[in-house]
Amino acid sequence: MDKKQFPILGIDLGGTKIAASIIIDTDTIGKPKRVPTPHGKENIIQALLKLIEEFKQDNLIVGVGIATAGIVNPDTGEVIGSTGNLPGWEGTPIKKIIEEKMALPVHVENDANASAYAEYRASKFKADTCLVTVTLGTGIGVGIVINGSLYRGAHFAAGECGHLKVSLNNHRRCTCGLWDCWEAYGSGRGFVATGYDALSKISAHQSKLALKKEKLTTEDIIEAAKDNDLVAKQIIETWHEHVAAGMVSLCHTLDPDCFVITGGMGKFVDYVLLKDLIMDMTLPRISEKLEIYPSSLGERGGMIGVAELVLDTFNSSAKYTQSLQKK
């Protein structure tokens, strides 16, 4: 049996929900199962164990992968950096806890990293040197695959690019406490903040959006733009400039083969405009051959990627066993 055919349970643990699916050969089998993320570390662990138990009853699985928010040491399977979305989760030795209870091999990975690895493995994007995923959601996350392997950095915090510094002006404060981080501009939150900035200067006869000054949403702006509202259109264009600004810095640092855009805000990206903006702001040698793709996997990226990483541990063990046998 080819190892690609091994069934792995892939779990994506987010701030609001836990999604899980059997993964075979870089694809989900059936519709992923979703449960709300409970509050508190102990409850999350119980929810994970329950999910795994349920899948085990109905399926043969040979390993479990868990993609989680937060900075993860994948060697120990421990969450070493907390995330605002999962309070109290820092310091949890997830791999150890689950392996002891379940007697199954477990791999834990940061969710943005897992998504990037999934795009590299499951998609047919050419990326021999470097593939970079940009997750445009409430914040911005980045995953980096170099020469076919996840690049995690010296302290497992590579790709924390939501905190690239895109301005020297201390204009917008990021939720992390730092000033002028990329995600204070290019994320969904940044998009709405740009909307409020624009509305502060206009009145209702210039744009119907002015009526939303009290409570503006992403959808308000998108809908208004569809109705040809010029202010809304300008907000969307400025947001594209903001998204491009961080990608330009990634271009000049990593010179990637391609970017893959994912996350909830990804559906609002105008790929022609984004590529044009990046071309305008990047050395031609880098941007001429650069490709920018929409994600091929969407929300399933985390669970597929982490399942692939479980498979990789099997492969290296297999090689190790072989070399032992030869001796």
Q: Write down the least CB distance from residue 309 to a copy of itself, Å.
A: 18
Amino acid letter for position 1: M
Question: Tokens 């970079």 map to which residue?
Answer: 132
Minimum distance, C-beta of residue 147 to a copy of itself, in the bound complex (Å): 9
Site stretch for a copy of itself (CB under 8 A), options 42-50, 143-151, 269-277, 312-320? 143-151
109 Cβ contact partners less than 8 Å away, ≥ 6 residues apart? 65, 66, 67, 68, 72, 74, 117, 150, 305, 306, 309
By CB under 8 A, is residue 24 in contact with a copy of itself? Answer: no
Q: Measure the CA–CA gap between 306 and 272, rounded to whole angstroms.
A: 31
Binding mask 42-71 for a copy of itself (x = CB under 8 A): -----------------------------x
Binding mask 153-192 for a copy of itself (x = CB under 8 A): xxxxxxxxxxxxxxxxx------x-xx-----x-------
If binding is defined by CB under 8 A, does position 80 make contact with a copy of itself? yes
Is 286 near a copy of itself (CB under 8 A)? yes
- Token readout for 3 is 């190892």
Q: Which of 281, 293, 296, 314 binds a copy of itself (CB under 8 A)?
A: 281
- For residues 70 and 83, give the distance between their C-alpha atoms in angstroms, rounded to a whole number: 5
- What is the residue type of 47? A
Return the axis-axis angle of helices 41-58 and 94-102, rounded to nearest 10°: 40
Nearest Cα to Cα of residue 65 among 120, 24, 123, 125: 24
Residue 142 near a copy of itself by CB under 8 A: yes
Q: Are 244 and 276 in contact (CB under 8 A)?
A: no
Q: Of 47-55, 127-135, 208-216, 219-227, which part binds a copy of itself (CB under 8 A)?
A: 127-135
Among 252, 270, 294, 321, binds a copy of itself (CB under 8 A): 252
- Residue (39 or 252) nearer to a copy of itself, CB: 252
Candidates 124-132, 214-222, 296-304, 312-320 — which segment interacts with a copy of itself by CB under 8 A?
Answer: 124-132
The CA distance from 87 to 89, in Å, is 6
For the chain, state the CA radius of gyration.
Answer: 21
Strands (E), 78-202: 78-81, 106-110, 130-136, 140-146, 149-150
Answer yes or no: are the C-beta atoms of 121 and 250 closer than 8 Å: no
Q: Which of 128, 214, 219, 227 binds a copy of itself (CB under 8 A)?
A: 128
The yes or no reply on residue 152 touching a copy of itself (CB under 8 A) is yes
Shortest CB 8 distance to a copy of itself, Å:
27
273: contact with a copy of itself by CB under 8 A: no
Size of the site for a copy of itself (CB under 8 A): 53
> Per rule CB under 8 A, is residue 276 in the interface with a copy of itself?
no
11 bridge partner residues: 20, 66
With CB under 8 A as the contact rule, the residue among 225, 250, 277, 306 that binds a copy of itself is 250
* Among 255, 276, 299, 312, contact with a copy of itself (rule: CB under 8 A): 255
Question: Residue 10 contacts by C-beta under 8 Å, 6 or more apart in sequence?
Answer: 20, 21, 22, 23, 28, 65, 67, 302, 303, 304, 305, 306, 307
In the complex, the residues that contact a copy of itself under the rule CB under 8 A are 71, 80-81, 127-130, 142, 144, 146, 151-169, 176, 178-179, 185, 241-242, 245-246, 248-250, 252-257, 281-283, 285-286, 288-289
